[in-house]
Amino acid sequence: MSLLWKSDQEDGTYKNPILFADYSDPDVIRVGDTYYMTASSFNYVPGLPILTSKDLVNWELKNYAIEKIDEPGYDLPQHAKGVWAPAIRYHEGYFYIYYGMPDEGIYMVRAKDALGTWEKPVLVLAGKGLIDSCPFWDEDGNAYIIHGYAKSRIGFKSHLGIFPMSWDGTKATGEDHILYCGLKTQPTIEGPKVYKRNGYYYIFAPAGGVKTGWQVILRSKNIYGPYEEKNVLHQGNSIVNGPHQGALVDTVNGDEWFLHFQDRGLYGRIVHMQPVVWENDWPVMGINAVDGCGEPCIIHKKPNTGITEKPCYLAAGDDFSSEKLGLQWQWIGNPKDDFYSLKERKGFLRLYCKNPSGKAEPILWECSNVLTEKLVCPYFRASVCVDISALSEQEQAGMVMMGGHYAYLAVRMIRGQKRLILGKSYDGEDGMREKAEQLLVLPEGQEKVYLIFAMREEDNGSVFHCYYSLTDDTDPASWTEVRAEFTPSDHTWVGAKIGLFANIVGDKEAGGYGDFEYLHVEALED
């Protein structure tokens, strides 16, 4: 595991982002002295990550709330579907997470221990287009869900809805109806989080769109409104575009902070944190506020949580020494037990060549047996060693950069010869397609190959490079560069990811496998 992005400056300050990783639509709560974060996971599983921190700056991925998506169709990748913006809450001894699946409805999953096993998800309200759900248990014994709407499913957006639910949080007890319309002043309002303070109901919500939006606050003395509105955080003169959608959280001494995302294109939506103060019962976020609307900070004094933690780093890469996959790994669709093994060959990840798509000419975009991990710093080098000696005809194993489009290097068996392949996706008339280019025929008896991806800062921004080597020489001068002519990008609300795979490229039964010895990821100078 490499140490890649450090927010804690170890001098009493932190720098944003606190997480340079695609934990989009973050929500955070404090229970005792521990902070718990979750985020969207879309079609990637396991889903609903659980991260913890003691100081709001240093976060560690500890668990997931759902192992897979138990709904029809998700055994194959359902890009742009799945688990959208969640809300995490602690209520009467349970951790609750509510989330919308735009094609199915609003779900709830809960657990006594956030780091233990979560119960099976419950469908609270079925319906297309219901997203971004947040629960609220009021002091008078009533409970509600406030949520957004997905235009792609229901035909409209820029509205927030509300419906009552049972006190145990398991089902709707009344009809959904429109609570607030933002068409005139808050276009694309969504992602609500609900709080109560000094007799006011507050809805914290993003508006204006993912890349360029702002954070708005609605407040009312009645949960059903009408609501006053105020913009409290925007880009201003900062370099942080679209600072919005997230969570208000306090420390044990009463200080408050707002965690939100910034859209960084190929890197996905990374997590920032702003200080919060209150003026005239309105929150003021960030720094350099004008008329109560602040802008994001880059360096700031750390929260005073009463606990000092050592700087920690998100895991990247793997030496596959464990009997379980590391928490950094997610499949792009529901996995099956026979996709992989960490026991057949100790110290290796064995990926079995499969074609879960069932198509005669499968492409990686449609195969759930692609194992991925998030990018966790802006400039890096990722290198993998794969033993390809067990590949059989029409099978391949390699590494992919998966995004809005993807590119991969793989060894493919064709007519009895192992050949190094550069594969790339493209837009065809009937959807995403894939083309492959042969780079070379491997020498007879070649058992291992070394594949390397790098993201570097160059004059025209972040530039992707890929290389290969037939020896274990770690000197980059000995590697052969491949002119991939590929630019990673985000896709369907998800940042680009590094992936490992072994699959079948023709119409045949499974047989062989690729053994991955390691994936090393190291930061490059920014």
Sign of CA dihedral 142, 143, 146, 152: negative
d(CA 511, CA 333): 21
Sign of CA dihedral 332, 338, 343, 344: negative
d(CA 58, CA 3): 13
Tokens of 517: 């010895």
305-309 own/partner pairs: CB under 8 Å, 24+ apart: 305/33, 305/54, 305/55, 305/56, 305/251, 305/252, 306/33, 306/251, 306/252, 306/253, 307/33, 307/54, 307/55, 308/55, 309/8, 309/53, 309/54, 309/55, 309/57, 309/58
Q: Tell me phi and psi for residue 267, to 5 degrees.
A: -85, -5
d(CA 239, CA 270): 14
User: Cβ distance 56 to 309 under 8 Å?
Assistant: no
Closest CA to 496 of 416, 427, 399, 420: 399
d(CA 334, CA 46): 8
**Known catalytic residue at 25:** yes
Closest CA to 252 of 286, 303, 302, 204: 303
**Known catalytic residue at 395:** no
Q: Tell me phi and psi for residue 338, to 5 degrees.
A: -90, 10
User: Cβ distance 58 to 7 under 8 Å?
Assistant: yes
- Of 104, 132, 190, 387, catalytic: 190
**What does the radius of gyration of the chain's CA atoms come to, in whole angstroms?**
24
Q: Catalogue the active-site residues.
A: 25, 190
